[in-house]
Chain A
């Protein structure tokens, strides 16, 4: 799987949008971008994934650049409960090697 690069940490104010960047410059055409988050002492929680189109669900929006070399996860109205480590992962969905490979992620701190 292609590697991803994320800043180690960022913060945002409660109620504001949190924009979490991710670089994946070596992504292959059949690799999807997945985002998970992990709140302290809990298991990773799936947020959203996409291939090349922008995606939105009840939790977040995922913006993928046209060349697919980077993406941004947007939490539109961050709350204190969104404080967590966010992992950006690229993954093939077919075949045996479709497991998730985690990096260190980005720690998002939402301040009151």
Chain B
């Protein structure tokens, strides 16, 4: 069983450009989470999906951020008009949730974003 896969692993972009990260969860996991982590801090929750439905968004997810999971499998996180403060590691995680019983959440290796 493959783990959570994130691409690209590293991205350097100029301020004002758009970037998109992709996450492929563990097969058959119906929940998918996005987190952001800056240096010296623990991961911070951004949003999560149950299948294709986006069920919760953190206040950290400004209107420049958009996440999708169109077919309930892979997900994308797009950041528009990037700012230097967006520099961080973006983590994706997945779990299998059945009849309301949550299961263990597994993380990918993260996608590093540097905005210059």
A binds B: yes
**Residues of chain A at the chain B interface (Cβ within 8 Å):** 34, 36, 41-46, 49, 85, 87, 91-96, 98-105
Q: Are B48 and A99 in contact (CB under 8 A)?
A: yes
Beyond A43-B107, A99-B56, whether A105 also contacts B42 by CB under 8 A is: yes
Main secondary structure of the interface of A (DSSP, over half): loop
Choose from B42, B100, B104 the contact partner of A87 (Cβ within 8 Å): B42
Please tell me if B101 contacts chain A, counting CB pairs below 8 Å: yes
Report yes or no: A46 in contact with B105, Cβ–Cβ below 8 A: yes
**Separation in Å of the A50 CB from the closest CB of chain B?**
12
25 contacts between A and B (CB under 8 A): A36-B107, A43-B93, A43-B108, A44-B43, A44-B91, A45-B107, A46-B104, A49-B104, A92-B102, A93-B101, A94-B100, A94-B102, A95-B100, A95-B102, A96-B55, A98-B97, A98-B102, A99-B48, A100-B33, A100-B45, A100-B105, A102-B35, A103-B42, A104-B41, A104-B42
New contact pairs (17) apart from A43-B107, A100-B45, CB-CB < 8 Å: A36-B107, A41-B110, A41-B112, A42-B109, A43-B93, A43-B109, A43-B110, A44-B107, A87-B42, A92-B102, A93-B101, A95-B100, A96-B55, A99-B33, A100-B105, A102-B43, A103-B42
- B58 CB, nearest partner CB in chain A, Å: 9
Question: How far apart are B59's CB and chain A's nearest CB, in angstroms?
Answer: 14
Smallest CB gap from A101: residue in B: B45
* CB-defined contacts of A46 to chain B, threshold 8 Å: 104-107
